[in-house]
Structure 1
Amino acid sequence: MASENPTSSEYISHHLSNLTFGNHPTEGWTFAGGEKAAEMGFWAINVDTMFFSILMGMVFIWLFRKVADSVTSDVPGNLQNFIESVIEFVDSNVKSIFHHKNPVIAPLALTVFVWIFLMNSLKLIPVDFIPYIAGEMGIPYWKIVPTTDINATMGMSISVFFLIIFYSIKVKGVSGFAAELSLQPLGKYFIPFNLFLEVVNLLAKPISLGLRLFGNMYAGEIIFILIALLPFWAQWVLSVPWAIFHILVITLQAFIFMVLTIVYLAMAHDEH
């Protein structure tokens, strides 16, 4: 950090800042955080978000591939039982919500649920542990929870939004999709009003999807950071119950993102 004895505001600001790589107006291409990172503009990359997002994606692929390669029809191990339970849980949700034929939806839902859960679970690591190690290695900023970065959550939600548009056009055609946006709910005599309502409704889906996940994870991160500012004895009294409660939040937010993804894609396939 900038000082050995930071104030509370400096401590909070530091832990909420990403390590960003971009083109600074005065320093050129560089790594920075905080206000300097904001000055780099839109095309800057949050390196820590990318690192942990990719890392958790690799953990997901490795874990499921490991189970797939060693799957047995005899008495399965605990890991196989757990992975099969996750797959059955996701599959049952897909079948109950999505009533069309599309081989992409179930794998997509599984990926969304497990990947977001793994990224969220990094929040359970003590807030000073990884930043301290990074600081000893000369890295000034190192934020470890990708879902507390709005760039990550909005990136995922915009990807879902593109799939909504893609399948809406693929299933209904350009004319059918245009009619859906312009002729509902009040008919052909109110096309401008219909178009306004439907476009707002369409754009609200990715915005609410991304902001919901970001807001819940960001708020939880702030609570952990505030607890870390308390005396050592108070940290244990408060952090352990909050971490236990947050296991539910972590799982619930991954589940909500998955369910809404399935719902939105089911709506894209519906003719009415």
Structure 2
Amino acid sequence: MATPGEALTSSSYIEHHLQHLSLAKLGVVAEGSFWNVHIDSLFFSVLTGVLFLWVFRSVAKKATTGVPSRLQCAVEMVVEFVGENVKDTFHGRNPLIAPLALTIFVWIILMNLMDLVPIDFLPYPAELVGIPYLKVVPTADVSITMSMALGVFALMIYYSIKVKGIGGFAKELALHPFNHPLMIPFNLLLETVSLLAKPISLGMRLFGNMFAGEVVFILCAAMLPWYLQWVGSLPWAIFHILVILIQAFVFMMLTIVYLSMAHEDSDH
């Protein structure tokens, strides 16, 4: 990793690496505008998504019943792992759930793995060609993680209404946990808060863990000379691999659980 030059102090180096390449930074929209977009987060999230689709499609096209390649074995292990978790957790019948869970699991792993790229490995050459800011970890951007969580939330609402009907969904909110007309206002308040907390916790958990990991790498690069940065970065990277995998697994499992709950009929 490159060292912060003499013109940059440790604090300014950290602040610089926490900035996104956004439309506001390019002067396209005003700072704080609703239309501001983090270009770097969108680019790397799309890039990792395309990589996932290309690899899995290529393996599927070249799959053989004979001696499989190492890549085919790895893909089959991931697919089987996700399939077993869906089978054990999801109690409805919906052909969308397994592909959705697989996509979420692998996509988040790939986005999280960007955190292992040395801090200055991509931003430094980008700056040489005129790109002033570049954050390469999409899941360290709350707009990306909350967008994914809101997508899961939309599916929860859609399948809740589709399976239970509008009346059944309304009864689930109004008559749970206390099945009495006088408790309807309290039930609505409690269930609405509980419902809204699901996507918030889903997105913020992933963002918080990945942002914290990114900050540790930035601190190692800012506070240590270049020849000693590995002393802090290497042990943290080894530990962070567990965080990368666990966070992808947790997001996938909670998605399956929430959609399974959406497919369950109300029992009031």
TM-score band (shorter)? over 0.9
Aligned residue in 2 for 1:29: 28
Q: Give the drift of 1:4.
A: 5.6
Q: How many residues align?
A: 261
Q: Say yes or no: does 1:226 pair with 2:226.
A: no
Closer, same or farther in 2 for the Cα pair 1:75/1:28, shift >3 Å? closer
CA RMSD of aligned residues (A): 1.6
Q: Say yes or no: does 1:213 pair with 2:213.
A: no
Q: 5 Å matches for 1:159-198?
A: 159-187=151-179, 188-198=181-191
* Aligned counterparts of 2:244 and 2:197: Cα–Cα separation in 1: 23
AA at the equivalent of 2:105? F
Aligned residue in 1 for 2:48: 56
Q: Give the drift of 1:147.
A: 0.4
Q: Give the drift of 1:232.
A: 2.8
AA at the equivalent of 2:55? L
AA at the equivalent of 2:237? A
Alpha-carbon displacement from aligned partner over 1:157-211 (angstroms, at most 9, x marks no partner): 0000000000000000000000000100112220000000000000000000000
Aligned residue in 2 for 1:72: 64
Aligned residue in 2 for 1:268: 262
AA at the equivalent of 2:262? A
Q: Give the drift of 1:40.
A: 3.7
What TM-score, normalized by structure 2, do the two folds share? 0.94
* Aligned counterparts of 2:40 and 2:175: Cα–Cα separation in 1: 45
* Aligned counterparts of 2:12 and 2:151: Cα–Cα separation in 1: 34
1:238 to 208, 232, 240: 232
Q: Give the drift of 1:29.
A: 2.0
SS of 1:45's equivalent in the other structure is: coil
1:259 to 253, 258, 265: 253
Structure with the bigger RCO (C-alpha within 8 Å, sep 6+) is 2
AA at the equivalent of 2:16? H
Alpha-carbon displacement from aligned partner over 1:87-124 (angstroms, at most 9, x marks no partner): 00000000010011000000000000000000000010
* Aligned counterparts of 2:231 and 2:212: Cα–Cα separation in 1: 19
AA at the equivalent of 1:120? N
AA at the equivalent of 1:221? E
Alpha-carbon displacement from aligned partner over 1:69-91 (angstroms, at most 9, x marks no partner): 10000010100000000000000
Stretches of 4+ aligned residues off by more than 6 angstroms:
none
Q: Percent identity?
A: 60
* Aligned counterparts of 1:46 and 1:204: Cα–Cα separation in 2: 25
Q: Say yes or no: does 1:204 pair with 2:197.
A: yes
AA at the equivalent of 1:240? L
Runs of 5+ unmatched residues, structure 1: 31-36
Alpha-carbon displacement from aligned partner over 1:227-251 (angstroms, at most 9, x marks no partner): 1121234311121111111111101
Moved more, 240-249 or 202-211: 240-249
1:10 to 6, 9, 12: 12
* Aligned counterparts of 2:34 and 2:110: Cα–Cα separation in 1: 27
Aligned residue in 2 for 1:122: 114
